[in-house]
Structure 1
Amino acid sequence: MSADNCGGNASVPLRNLLNSIQCVRDRVRDGESNESDGAFNLSNFWDTLNQAVKAVSQEATKFSLAFSKPPLPSQQDGEKLAESILKSVLTLSTVYYWLPKSQGVSLRRQVRDATVQVLEGVMQLVEVILSSPLQSLTQEQLTSTGGVWSACDQFAQLPKDNKAAVLVVLSAQSGVVKDAIEEVEQALTESQDPFSDVLDDDQEEDEARDNQDMYWSEKDRRVIGPCQGLMKASAACLRKLMSAVKMHGDVSLPQNVAQLDDLADITKELSPGIDDLALCLYPPMDCSEVDNNLSKLAALLKKALEIIRSSHVCGESDLTWVQFLDGAVDHNLQKARDLIQQDS
């Protein structure tokens, strides 16, 4: 980053601005909310937050235009522009801090991440102006200005309460789990040799096929079956849980808000567990590693089902699928272990 591009002293307020926004960004990313004992009005919070986001977008536009063509702002004008955009950034971060954890950790995380994106977008814009030639508006400056607009526009799509925030988490986790299941199924159906597309070009095909460690044995394939069953049970759990949250999810009571966060947290543990199991299924398969990852995923899914069972989202009709999936976990785990122990 070159300080000369802003013409001597004109760069000083911009560098100070960049440092200030970075400090604000770090506090938002790592800080805690201001918990208050009084009543919190979520609707008023969103109205004020949206106004603050709009102000940042407008100030970023004004700031970018001021540095888009000669003559460049004087040091005094540069200081005024920097003060104005910093004021909008500080207002945004202050309003974010109003949102207490009691409104939901999942909601707060998503609002925090969106706020951080706006702050980082403004930082990038300031960096580009500091480092770009200033004879004309550069494509990089246009792109970074558009980046601030885009980050601000994301606030319109944010979930407005913790129930909606948890549904965002569940939907994302469901997509990750579905992808992992499909990858294993595709590898099983495409070829006897799942690594056929990553062989070296100069490697003889016959020589590659002589390596039995590069594809699955019949026993391997039998073991994979119940592993897939456990992965599919996890996917079904996420789908059913999404429906239950949509139907019964409640944010009017603090304990229900906290239960929704617990559901989000346990489901976020499922996808890494499924990824670990899926990865160890590829040849050469180590049965002890498969058994270990299978046990971990089974324990996670049992824990998730227990948390669901004891939460307010689990109505009487939901108990049926919770119990069914609980039995499916035991069945697939035992079946896989029996197959692993055969001929071992």
Structure 2
Amino acid sequence: MDDCSKIALSCDKDCQCHLVAKQFTNNVLTTLEQIKGETAWKIEIKNFSRLIYWDKHSNLLALLHKEVSKLSVMYTTPPLPKCADEKSLFDGITQCLLAMISSLYHLPQEQGQTLFKQWYKYNISLLSALHEFSVSLWNSQNVAQCTGAVWELCASGKNLPKDNKESLIVYQKQELALVDDAYTELEMAKNTYESGRTEAESMSNYDLSVLVAGFGLVKTAKLLITKSLKSIKNNGHADTVTQITDYDVFYQQLSSTSELVDDFAASLYPPSHKPEVKSSATSLTDHLSCFLETFRQSHFCIETDGTWTTVFENAVKHNHDKVSQLVT
């Protein structure tokens, strides 16, 4: 039996089948486009309470999970709902949609650009999943899969960062993972070439020297991210505007690290091209120096961090000099 025949068993004669469901789909799509094009986000909200805001948000996700589950069962278990009953069925999820819009608009950017950016992306993903779910209800395709996608996002939303410090830590771990990938691949190549295996026979001693010297700079970058992450976890706070802003400033500096490491690491593989190695080494060195300076100016850099930041400053310069001597 096709979809139209199934609907006919549940609907009155001359019914415009799933009109309410399709209208909800349009509303979700309109909301998604509105948020993507929005520029007038609130900077601050008087008497904003972080605790109350996130408590309400958690309740909203739980309610959305419940409403999606209800509709999923109703549209996959015979008899299918009559179209005349759809309005009441969609009242709950419609209220969730309105609450989702309101929630994002009431997260002030003074709580942190890094935090807002993370939740903005999350809401885009959730609305996109909700749109696909609503479509699946009236075309009777992939309902279980689309339901699961919304459930998964509702669950993950409860574990997302609730302040700017937590948001930066998430991004920094992601950046560290990318840098670690480049480091690991480069280490494997270095070990292969140093071992004198067959695949390394075509590599010159000069190329090997450049790779080994460059590996030291990549290793320094990886350790610098790791060490600064530990300090942020231990010493960071997100209670004042200044503290919150520190994370945004540091994020801007952090965000391009993995890309610069990848560019530099790629230039080290034989055969070496001197101008490319020199240029990418200088770019990464300048970036790491700014990285250190930005860290030092933040509230999460305390007095005891002075020793290791000086050590890393010298390590950056030392490793850059080693590369520079080989490619100049």
Report the counterpart of residue 17 of structure 1 in structure 2. Answer: 24
Report the counterpart of residue 250 of structure 2 in structure 1. Answer: 263
Computed over aligned residues only, the root mean square deviation of the Cα atoms, in angstroms, reads: 2.5
**Distance in 2 between residues matched to 1:29 and 1:193, nearest whole Å:** 53
Report the counterpart of residue 200 of structure 1 in structure 2. Answer: none
Q: Which one of 114, 121, 125 corresponds to residue 129 of structure 2?
A: 121
What SS is found at the alignment partner of 1:10?
Answer: coil
Question: What is the CA-CA distance between 1:80 and the residue it aligns to?
Answer: 3.2
| Paired residues for 1:139-178 under 5 Å | 140-178=142-180
Which amino acid in 2 is paired with 1:19?
N
**Structure-1-length-normalised TM-score:** 0.85
| Paired residues for 1:89-238 under 5 Å | 89-132=97-140, 140-190=142-192, 216-238=203-225
CA contact (8 A) 2:126 2:153 kept: yes
CA contact (8 A) 2:60 2:99 kept: yes
Mark the CA change 1:161 to 1:339 in structure 2 (over 3 Å): closer, same or farther. same
Question: What is the CA-CA distance between 1:192 and the residue it aligns to?
Answer: 7.8
Which amino acid in 1 is paired with 2:311?
F
Moved more, 282-291 or 36-45: 282-291
**Distance in 2 between residues matched to 1:63 and 1:143, nearest whole Å:** 14
Which amino acid in 2 is paired with 1:281?
L
Determine if the alignment matches structure 1 residue 63 to structure 2 residue 71: yes
Determine if the alignment matches structure 1 residue 318 to structure 2 residue 326: no
**Structure-2-length-normalised TM-score:** 0.88
CA contact (8 A) 1:21 1:86 kept: no
Which amino acid in 1 is paired with 2:191?
T
List runs of 5+ in structure 2 lacking aligned partners: 9-14
**Distance in 2 between residues matched to 1:230 and 1:109, nearest whole Å:** 31
Question: What is the CA-CA distance between 1:116 and the residue it aligns to?
Answer: 2.4
List runs of 5+ in structure 1 lacking aligned partners: 134-139, 197-208
Percent sequence identity is 25
**Distance in 2 between residues matched to 1:115 and 1:329, nearest whole Å:** 40
**Distance in 1 between residues matched to 2:44 and 2:326, nearest whole Å:** 57
**Distance in 2 between residues matched to 1:244 and 1:264, nearest whole Å:** 15
**Distance in 2 between residues matched to 1:219 and 1:50, nearest whole Å:** 58
| Paired residues for 1:268-307 under 5 Å | 268-307=255-294
**Distance in 1 between residues matched to 2:140 and 2:193, nearest whole Å:** 52
Q: Deviations over 1:235-259 (max 9, x none)?
A: 1111111121122212121011101
Mark the CA change 1:30 to 1:304 in structure 2 (over 3 Å): closer, same or farther. farther
Report the counterpart of residue 49 of structure 1 in structure 2. Answer: 57
Which amino acid in 2 is paired with 1:179?
D
Q: Deviations over 1:272-313 (max 9, x none)?
A: 111111222223332211111111111111111110111111
Question: What is the CA-CA distance between 1:125 and the residue it aligns to?
Answer: 1.2
* Count of matched residue positions in the alignment of Structure 1 and Structure 2: 318
Report the counterpart of residue 326 of structure 2 in structure 1. Answer: 339
